[in-house]
Amino acid sequence: MVFSEYIAHIRPQDGEKQLVIDHLSETAYLAHSNAAPWGAAFAYTCGLVHDIGKYSQAFQTRINGGTQRVDHSTAGGQLLYEIGNKSKLSLLAAYCVMGHHSGLPNGGSYSQDVGDEPTLYGRLNRHIEDYSTYKNELTISPFEQFNHKWQDGFDVAFFIRMAFSALVDADWLNTEKFCEYQNAPRGGFSPLATLCEKLASQTTLFLNSKGEIGDLNRRRNELLKNCLAASKLPSGLFTLTAPTGSGKTIASLAFALNHAVRYGKQHIIYIVPYNTIIEQNAAVFEKMLGVESILRHNCDVAYDGDEEEYVRKRNSVENWDYPLIVTSNVQFFESLFANKPSKCRKLHNIANSVLIFDEAQMIPVPYLIPCVRAIKTLVTQYNCSAVLATATQSSLDKFFAPLILTEITEKPEDLFISLRRAQIKWMGNEPQTDDALTDKLLVHKQVLCIVNTRRHAQILFEHMYKITSEGTFHLSTTMFPAHRKRVLDIIRGRLKNGLVCRVISTSLVEAGVDLDFESVYREMAGLDSIVQAAGRCNREGKRKLEESVVYVFNSSGHRSPRMIQPNIGACGQVIRKYDDLASLDAIKAYFNQLHYNIGDEQLDLKHIVQMFIDGVKAGLSFPFEEVAKTFKLINDATQQTIYILHEAPELEARLRSGERNLELFRALGIYGVSLFEKDMKELVALGAVERLDESVLLLSRHYYSDQIGVSLAPEGGQALVF
C-alpha cells in the first residue's frame, strides 16, 4: 500500500489526524525554545528527526489499524549519525532521538553490539523499515559546530541529558496539544517580577519598622539585608550560613527573587532534604506570595480533584514550568541522573534558575561528589546561580574547586553566637539503658528524645507510654505522612499551651519541623544531626541558655545503622577536641574529619562520575541506563512501600478495581510507609499484608497503631492499639 499522507497521531475523540511533517516541525520549534541558549540548534534538529521513522510504510500501516509493532525512534538517530559523518555531535544527538520513547540507552560497543541489542551502538547497527519518503517533505542538514565548555565526559553526558529533556518535553507538549485539542491547562501564576514586588511590600515592613524591635528581629533584619545586597552580585555559587531561627527561609527567598529578576532567571527551585521541610517552606511561600504561584513536588503531595489550579499544577509537576518550585533532594538529584523521559522532562527548566539547597549538608555522603559535580555544571554551563543554605557549615569548598563560594552572611560567627538558644552537653561514654533514659525523660515536663532507629523509637516509646500515657508521643516514618501531620499538630498545641509533652522520635524532626522543647536528648550521631536537634530546644528563645540543654548520649542495647557509623566516629573525634560542639569551627572540623575518614572514593560510592568520564575514551559510550538504576539516594531495593488505607476507602476501592496510574499513586503517597525487607517479611509471615500485585501491598488495619504506626515488632493476631 502506498500512502498519500503520512500520519503521526490520530486523535481518539474524533479521528482527526496530525501529519508527521506538522508534528516534527512543531516539536522542533518547541525543542529549540527549550534549549535556548545552550543548545537550541542542536535540539531543533533532534526535534525535526525524532519521529522520522513514522514515514515508513510499516508504521503507516500500523497507525491505520495494523497490529505489527514498529520501531520508529531508531531511524532519526541513524539518519543524523550518517549525514553527520559519524561525528561526535551526531552521536550525541542519536542518544536523544533513540531514547525519546524508552529512555536514554547505555552506549554499548559499536564493534560488538548487533542490531538486537538495546544499546546506542546496537541500534545504530539495527536494520529498520525504509523511511526514505521523508525526503519528499523534509530536508535535514548536518549539525553546525557550536562552542561549549565541556570539561570531560561528565559534562558531555550532562549535555545529552539536558538536550534529551528539551526534546521529550517538546514532543509531549505538542502531542498533548493535538490530542487535547489545545494545550492542557497550565500557567495561572504570576511572573517572578510580580512575586518579587509582593515579597518586597512585606519585607519592607520588617526593615522599616518604626517601633522597638528585639535582638532576634534585629538579627533577622541584618540577614535579610545581607541577602538583598548579595542578590546584586553576578550569577555564581553562594553559601548562606545561618542558624535555626535566623529567618533564613524568607531571607533566602528575598535573595532568590531579587537575583532572578535582576539577571533574568526563569525559575527558583528550593531543594530540601526532607518532606517535612517542603511542607514548612512551601507554607511560608504560599502565605507570602499566594498558593497559585508555588509548585510542590514530592511524594507526599498529590494535586487531586478537578479544580483548575490542581489540574494546572498536576500538569506542571511533569515539566516544572512554574516560577517557584519546592522539591526534595531525592526528586531533584535522581532526576538529574535519570534516563526515562518522564523523569527528564523537567531538566531543561532547571537551566537559568536560582537553586536554593536548603540544609545542603544533608546531601547523602555516598553520592556527594556526583551531586556536587551536577551543581557545578549547572552553574558553569547552564547559567544557574546556586545557594548552599545551611545551619552547619559543610566544608564543601574543596569539592567545588576551582569555583569560589561567596558567603552571603556578613558575619556568620557573630550570628551563630547571638542566636544560640541551647547548649550541647556530652553525657559521657557510658551507655544509657532504656530504663535509665526513661527516668531522665520523666523529670522534664516538655522534652524531645531522638534515637537512631525506628525500632528503638517504638521500644522506648512503649516503655514510657506504659508508665505515663498522658502527653507521651511517638514520631517516625512508620506512621504514614497524614498521620504524622496530625500528631505534630497535637504536639505543637500542647507545647504552646504549656502542657506535658514528651516525644520519642527519629531524626525526621531535626530539620523543617517547627517544635520548641525545654530540653532535648539526642542519641550519638553525626555532629550536624546533633546541631539540628539543638534547633528544637528553646527555639523561640523564651528560656535562659543555661537552662536549655541538649544531652548527647550513647545507647545501650541498640545498634545504630551502618550508614551513620562514619558520622558517629567523626563526631566522637571532634568531641575529644572541642568543648563547644555548636561552634562553626567544631562543625567544620567534623565535616573535614568525616570526609577524611571516609575517603573520596566513598563519596562517589557507585563511581558515577568516573563512569561518565571513562565514556569518552570508549567512543562516547555512556552508561545512562545503568547509572539511572544505580543512582538512588534512597535504596529502593532495600525498602518497599505498604499502604494503610483505612482512612481512604475510596482510594482502596480504586486499587481493588484494578486502576493503576500516576495520579492514583500520587494520591496514595500520603498513606504509604516504606519498610525494610526484614520488617516486611515479619508482617507477611503474620498474614498482616495483602498483596494486590507486585507493586501494591496493603496492611491490615489490625497491625497499625494510632500511636506508633506500623509495628516493627508485631505479635500475631493482636491489634496494636494502646
In a domain, 577, yes or no: yes
631 inside domain = no
Q: For 546, which DSSP code?
A: G
Q: Are residues 379 and 528 in the same domain?
A: no
- Residue 300 is predicted with a pLDDT of 63
Please report the pLDDT score of residue 720 as a whole number. Answer: 35
Domain-terminating residue out of 345, 380, 411: 411
- Is the peptide bond preceding residue 481 cis, with omega within 30 degrees of 0? no
pLDDT the model gives residue 183: 56
Nearest-angstrom CA–CA distance, 376 and 401: 9
- Domain-embedded: residue 586: no
Whether 90 and 46 map to the same domain: the answer is: yes
Query: Domain for residue 280, yes or no?
Result: yes
Into how many domains does the chain fold? 4
* Whether residues 45 and 129 fall in one domain: yes
Query: pLDDT value at position 719?
Result: 36
- pLDDT higher than 70, residue 393: no
C-alpha distances out from residue 480 to 560, 704, 708, Å: 23, 10, 10
Q: Is 133 found in the same domain as 20?
A: yes
Q: In a 10 Å sphere around its CB, with 0-12 CB exposed, 13-18 middle and 19+ buried, how is residue 664 labelled?
A: middle
Grid cell 509493532 — which residue? 69
Which DSSP symbol is given to 709?
E
One domain for residues 547 and 687? no
68: pLDDT strictly greater than 90: no
Alpha carbons within 13 angstroms on the beta-carbon side of residue 699 total: 34
Mean pLDDT of 533-539: 91
Q: pLDDT per residue over 456-467, tens digit each?
A: 999 999 999 999
For the chain, give the mean pLDDT: 90
Confidence grade of residue 263 (pLDDT, cut at 50, 70, 90): very high
Confidence of residue 304 (pLDDT cuts 50, 70, 90): low
303: left (phi over 0), alpha (psi -120 to 50) or beta: beta
* Residue 69 counted as domain residue: yes
Helix residue spans in 520-600 (DSSP H): 527-534, 565-575, 584-598
Query: Both 101 and 246 in a single domain?
Result: no
| pLDDT band at residue 722 using 50, 70 and 90 as cut-offs | very low
- Non-local (6+) Cβ contacts of 210 within 8 A are none
Q: Do 337 and 429 fall within a single domain?
A: no
Angle at the Cα of 253 (from 402 to 388), degrees rounded to 5?
Answer: 25
One domain, residues 365 and 298: yes
In a domain, 602, yes or no: no
For residue 671 the three cell numbers come to: 498513606
User: What predicted TM-score, i.e. pTM, was given to this entire model?
Assistant: 0.89
Cell 485539542 maps to which residue?
A: 181
Same domain, 268 and 315: yes
Q: Which of 153, 179, 205 is where one domain is finished?
A: 179
Measured between alpha carbons, how far is 668 from 687 in angstroms, rounded to an integer? Answer: 22
Please indicate, yes or no, if residue 138 is contained in any of the structural domains. yes
For residue 274, what are the domain limits?
192-411
Give phi and psi for 673, each to the nearest 5.
-130, 130
**Which alpha helices (H) appear in 393-480, and where do they start and end?**
397-400, 412-418, 434-442, 454-467
Residues 6+ apart with CB under 8 A from 77: 93, 94, 95, 97, 98, 120, 123, 124
CATH of residue 110's domain is 1.10.3210.30
Continuous segment of H or E residues that includes residue 228: helix 215-230
CA angle 389, 392, 397 (to 5 degrees): 70
Of 657 and 142, which is predicted with more confidence?
A: 657
The last residue of a domain, from among 383, 411, 439: 411
| CA separation for the pair 721, 706 (Å, rounded) | 6
Which grid cell is 241? 550560613
User: Which pLDDT band holds residue 184 (cuts at 50, 70, 90)?
Assistant: low
Co-location of 235 and 353 in the same domain = yes
Spatial distance between the Cα atoms of 85 and 94, rounded to a whole number of angstroms: 13
**Mean pLDDT score, 79-95:** 92
Q: Report phi then psi at 321, rounded to 5.
A: -95, 15
Contact 296, 192 (CB under 8 A): no
Return left, alpha or beta for 314; rule: phi > 0 is left, psi -120 to 50 is alpha, else beta.
alpha
Q: Pick the closest to residue 325 from 261, 266, 390, 237 (CA basis).
A: 266
Look at residue 625 and tell me if it is in a domain. Answer: no
The predicted model gives 510-536 an average pLDDT of: 91
Which grid coordinates are listed for 134? Answer: 521523508
Structural contact between residues 388 and 165, judged by C-beta atoms closer than 8 angstroms = no
Report the pLDDT value the prediction gives residue 8, as an integer from 0 to 100.
Answer: 95
Cα gap 59→7, rounded to integer Å: 9
In this predicted model, which residue has the larger pLDDT, 469 or 314? 469
* Stretch among 26-40, 151-165, 292-306, 354-368 having the lowest mean pLDDT: 292-306
Distance CA 160, CA 164 (A): 6
Instruction: Looking at the structure, tell me whether residues 76 and 146 fall in a common domain.
Output: yes
Q: State residue 149's pLDDT score.
A: 80
Give me the pLDDT at residue 81, please.
93
Comparing 16-25, 107-116, 254-263, the range with the smallest average pLDDT is 107-116
Q: In this structure, are 446 and 549 located in the same domain?
A: yes
Mean local confidence (pLDDT), 221-235:
96
What is the CATH classification number for the domain harbouring 301? 3.40.50.300
